[in-house]
Amino acid sequence: MIQGSDLNFRADQPALDVEGLTVTYGKEPALWNADLRLDRGSLAAVVGPNGAGKSTLLKAALGVVPRVSGRVRVLGEDPARRRRLVAYVPQRTSVDWDFPTSVLDVVLMGTYGQLGWFRRPGRKERALALHSLEQMEMADLAGRQIAELSGGQQQRVFLARALVQDAEVYFMDEPFAGVDAVTEQSIASLMGHLAHRGKTILSVHHDLATVPRYFEHAVLLNRAVQAVGTIKEVFHRGNLDRLYGGRVPAGVPDLAPS
Amino acid sequence: MIEFWTLAIAAVTALACALSGTFLVLKREALVSEGLAHAVLPGIVIAYALIGDRTSPLLLVGAAAMGLVMILAVQAVRRTGVVDATASLGVVFPALFSVGVLLTSMDLAGTYFHADCIIEGNLALAPLDRLEVGGRDLGPRAFWSVSVALLLVTGFVALLFKELKLLTFDPELAASLGFRPNRVHLAWLAVVSFTVVASFEAAGSILVVALMIAPPAAAVLWVDDVRHILGLAGVLGLVSAFAGHELGMAMDIAPAGPMATSAGALFLGSLALAPRGILMKGRAHRHLLARMEVDLVAARLRPGAPRDLESVRGELGWSPRRFDAVVARAVSGAGLVHDAAAGTLHLAARQPGS
């Protein structure tokens, strides 16, 4: 069986606890001595410049990149033992949308973790997948080929696939990238809804202007975690200038004095 | 009887190749088949030089291992970040192939290989090389080796269909769910490598590539579900084998060439005629354009308010010939009324309930 069938966790354990994490892909370190602690129920954006290690942080939290040093705990355990409690939404552009399969089939992939090796999805999994598609207002497209979807619909399919995992912690890589305003709104409300139910969300996000609107917490990352806290505490011009080397574009609301 | 075995070997080879090639085509790494087909040559020669017994099944395993060595070398070259995936494959397999050719010419393999067998195999003679166990004749050795390959391929796909599909579509999700996509992929490529080696003797390196890639590449143009693609690729592979065999008999030449040609012809035919092929796409496009033209004319008209033909044509900037053709279509299909005497166009009043 797949590892990660351990479903018990203590309610007071942090959703994600990263200490001294260093990851490298051979050249410069992608993450250097990063520390991060995220309570359950957090709705957090990871922001930082290109190459800051945002996607790497997610992958380390998923336990799929080798660590040079440091410790990662998801709900108090090694990520490899928490796979059943974690859902991952990769970048939409990381897959080949011309792949010959249907919308429902992609959502069903979210049930593979619970099924484990060899077992195939059945009627129960189909019902769960359809229900997730309904939540993303995509049920009428269940039989559609994924090659025929718009960018916003592709992202909804990915989120439905994450929903079907019924996880505690959601790691998302730029879920708002390249979607229309309506989809953006429904993704945001889905995130809020999940966080309200005590689920934890850590999402890489590029649009600084919408961070305060869609998120409650921010992780300011540039190889190391420079600041983490509520939007009010950490998402202000002083911190952002430091994070982006003083080149933060206008239009980012100044929420707190620096 | 020899003819029967030739056909049987060809059919099983085609089936094993088509099924194992499907996931290569879907993962957009069809070139891997080409790489394997060339890289296993030094493997075969070295394994033969070491084992010295051309009947040993270890020969197949040793040669297939060389295919995996190539895959690992390609991954290592790619990790340096100097060249991309395709280029690193292009760097590694010609190097291994040239080593194989060198070893062959050095006669390390003795009389095992004829240079032309490398390219197109020796399907015609394969039935003569028998597998004997305890003095009993079990049929041609090549038939048994490709049958084992077919069994491995179908077994792997039947057991790990879900996992293969997941890692082909979204390796990152596969990793996050704990399905170890790199290891499963490597295990799968080991099976593919074995298939290449087993097919090599009967089919040769070029035919192996043709049988691995052409049938699934044709199948994806007809159907859009991985299961159906697997099935259709298998059927197209079998058709190539039978057609190629018949063609070879009729023309009195070795069957390998006609088989590869048949596979290629099936692909070209699919590319032209299949729903996702060129003709149908062109037809769908023309159909859409024709409808749009009618809509453009209709959008400039109101029920019961005739407009001068020439002024409508002027707004659209169309040639008289094109405009007349569109108007003719619109009158028959979209409820336009063409008053030829007055030279005007108007929309027919809407029928109640329509």
Q: Taking the alpha carbons of B2, B3, B6, B12 in that order, is the dihedral positive or negative?
A: negative
Biggest CA–CA distance in chain A, Å, is 56
Same structural domain for residues B268 and B323? no
Q: How far apart are CA A251 and CA A119, in angstroms?
A: 51
Instruction: Provide the CB-side half-sphere exposure for B110 (13 A, CA).
Output: 9
Give the list of residues 6+ apart from residue A134 with CB closer than 8 angstroms, or none: none
End-to-end CA distance of chain A, in Å? 51
Q: How far is A113 from chain B (nearest CA, A)?
A: 5
Instruction: Please tell me chain B's helix, strand, coil percentages from 3-state DSSP, rounded to the nearest 5.
Output: 75, 5, 20
B76-133 pLDDT per residue, tens: 888 887 888 888 888 888 888 888 888 877 766 555 555 566 666 777 777 877 887 7
Which of B350, B351, B325 shows the shortest CA–CA distance to B338? B325
User: What are the Cα distances from residue A124, in Å, to A111, A120, A187, B5, B251?
Assistant: 10, 11, 25, 47, 57
Q: How far apart are CA B30 and CA B32, in angstroms?
A: 5
Closest residue of chain B to A170, computed from CA coordinates: B176
Same structural domain for residues B331 and B208? no
CA dihedral B143, B144, B149, B151 (to 10 degrees): 110
Mean pLDDT of B311-337: 85
Lowest mean pLDDT among A70-74, B1-5, B159-163: B1-5
Q: Which of A62, A80, A90 sits opposite B170 (nearest CB)?
A: A90
Domain boundary among B229, B247, B276: B276
Q: What is the model's pLDDT at position B46?
A: 84
Q: Locate A130 and state its tokens.
A: 């359809």
Q: Token pair 């190889």 is at which residue?
A: A223
Beta strands of A28-160 (E only): which ranges? 29-38, 43-47, 69-74, 86-89
Instruction: Provide the CB-side half-sphere exposure for A206 (13 A, CA).
Output: 11
Interchain CB distance below 8 Å, B173 and A88: yes
Paired strand residues for A43:
A201
Q: Does A122 touch chain B if contact means CB atoms closer than 8 Å? A: no
Instruction: Provide the CB-side half-sphere exposure for B75 (13 A, CA).
Output: 11
Give the list of residues 6+ apart from residue B187 with CB closer than 8 angstroms, or none: B156
Domain boundary among B249, B276, B303: B276
Mean pLDDT of A148-159: 94
CB pairs under 8 A between A and B: 74
User: Does residue B11 belong to any structural domain of this protein?
Assistant: yes
Q: How far apart are CA A194 and CA A73, in angstroms?
A: 21
A116-152 pLDDT per residue, tens: 999 999 999 999 999 999 999 999 999 999 999 999 9
User: Does residue B197 belong to any structural domain of this protein?
Assistant: yes
More confident of the two residues B38 and B162: B162
Closest residue of chain B to A79, computed from CA coordinates: B176
Burial class (CB in 10 A: 0-12, 13-18, 19+), A78: middle
On whether the CB atoms of residues B347 and B303 are closer than 8 A, the answer is: yes
Q: How far apart are CA B45 and CA B115, in angstroms?
A: 12
Same structural domain for residues B194 and B333? no
A193-217 pLDDT per residue, tens: 999 999 999 999 999 989 999 999 9
Mean pLDDT of B41-49: 83
Q: How far is A187 from chain B (nearest CA, A)?
A: 20
Q: How far apart are CA B32 and CA B38, in angstroms?
A: 10
On whether the CB atoms of residues A207 and A213 are closer than 8 A, the answer is: no
Q: What is the model's pLDDT at position A91?
A: 94
Q: Taking the alpha carbons of B226, B228, B234, B238 in that order, is the dihedral positive or negative?
A: negative
On whether the CB atoms of residues B129 and B138 are closer than 8 A, the answer is: no
Is the pLDDT assigned to residue B350 strictly greater than 70?
no
Is the pLDDT assigned to residue B239 strictly greater than 90?
yes
Q: What is the model's pLDDT at position B49?
A: 81
Closest residue of chain A to B23, computed from CA coordinates: A99
Q: What is the model's pLDDT at position B302?
A: 80
The β-bridge relationship of strands A29-38 and A43-47 is unpaired
Which of A49, A50, A59, A51 shows the shortest CA–CA distance to A18? A59
Same structural domain for residues B299 and B229? no
Q: CA angle, corner A73, sides to A70 and A77, nearest 5?
A: 130
Interchain CB distance below 8 Å, B229 and A100: yes
B183-212 pLDDT per residue, tens: 999 999 999 999 998 988 778 888 899 999
Domain span including residue B300? 286-347
One-letter identity of residue A215 = F
User: Does residue B281 belong to any structural domain of this protein?
Assistant: no
This model of the complex carries an ipTM of 0.90
Q: Which CATH number characterizes residue B318's domain?
A: 1.10.10.10
Mean pLDDT of A98-106: 96
**What's the mean pLDDT when you consider all of chain B?**
87
Same structural domain for residues B187 and B325? no
Q: What is the model's pLDDT at position A27?
A: 72
On whether the CB atoms of residues B96 and B77 are closer than 8 A, the answer is: no
Paired strand residues for A220:
A47, A227
Mean pLDDT of B225-237: 97
Same structural domain for residues B24 and B118? yes
Q: What is the model's pLDDT at position A253?
A: 59
Q: Does A62 touch chain B if contact means CB atoms closer than 8 Å? A: yes
Same structural domain for residues B254 and B304? no
Question: Which percentage of chain A shows pLDDT scores above 70?
Answer: 93
Is the pLDDT assigned to residue A70 strictly greater than 70?
yes
Q: Which of A90, A100, A109 sits opposite B166 (nearest CB)?
A: A109
Same structural domain for residues B243 and B290? no
Number of domains, chain B: 2
Q: What is the model's pLDDT at position B353?
A: 43
Same structural domain for residues B202 and B70? yes
Is the pLDDT assigned to residue B75 strictly greater than 50?
yes
Q: How far is A59 from chain B (nearest CA, A)?
A: 8
Same structural domain for residues B199 and B223? yes
Q: What is the model's pLDDT at position B109?
A: 54
CA B300 from chain center: how many Å?
Answer: 48
On whether the CB atoms of residues A195 and A172 are closer than 8 A, the answer is: no
Domain boundary among B276, B296, B323: B276
For chain B, which residues lie within 8 Å of any Cβ of chain A, measuring from their own Cβ?
Answer: 26, 28, 79, 81, 159-163, 165-166, 168-170, 172-173, 175-179, 220, 223-226, 229
Which of B176, B185, B186, B276 shows the shortest CA–CA distance to B222? B276
Biggest CA–CA distance in chain B, Å, is 97
User: Does residue B354 belong to any structural domain of this protein?
Assistant: no
Interchain CB distance below 8 Å, A62 and B173: no
User: Does residue B12 belong to any structural domain of this protein?
Assistant: yes
User: What are the Cα distances from residue A47, in Å, to A54, A210, B198, B226, B350?
Assistant: 7, 11, 52, 38, 58
Question: Which percentage of chain B shows pLDDT scores above 70?
Answer: 94
Chain B residues with CB-CB distance to A115 below 8 A: 162
Q: Locate B213 and state its tokens.
A: 């890639």
The conformation of residue B67, written as its DSSP 8-state character, comes to H
**Segment 129-158 of chain A within 8 Å of chain B by CB:** 145, 147
Is the pLDDT assigned to residue A4 strictly greater than 50?
no
Q: How far is B217 from chain A (nearest CA, A)?
A: 12
Say what the pTM is: 0.86
Same structural domain for residues B212 and B237? yes
User: Does residue B15 belong to any structural domain of this protein?
Assistant: yes
Q: Locate A88 and state its tokens.
A: 């991952």
The conformation of residue B302, written as its DSSP 8-state character, comes to B
B282-291 pLDDT per residue, tens: 898 999 998 8
Interchain CB distance below 8 Å, A2 and B168: no
User: Does residue B353 belong to any structural domain of this protein?
Assistant: no
Question: Which percentage of chain B shows pLDDT scores above 90?
Answer: 41
Same structural domain for residues B206 and B333? no
Mean pLDDT of A94-123: 95
Q: How far is B223 from chain A (nearest CA, A)?
A: 8
The H or E element spanning position A19 is strand A16-24
Q: Which CATH number characterizes residue B213's domain?
A: 1.10.3470.10
Q: Taking the alpha carbons of A192, A214, A103, B161 in that order, is the dihedral positive or negative?
A: negative
Paired strand residues for A36:
A18
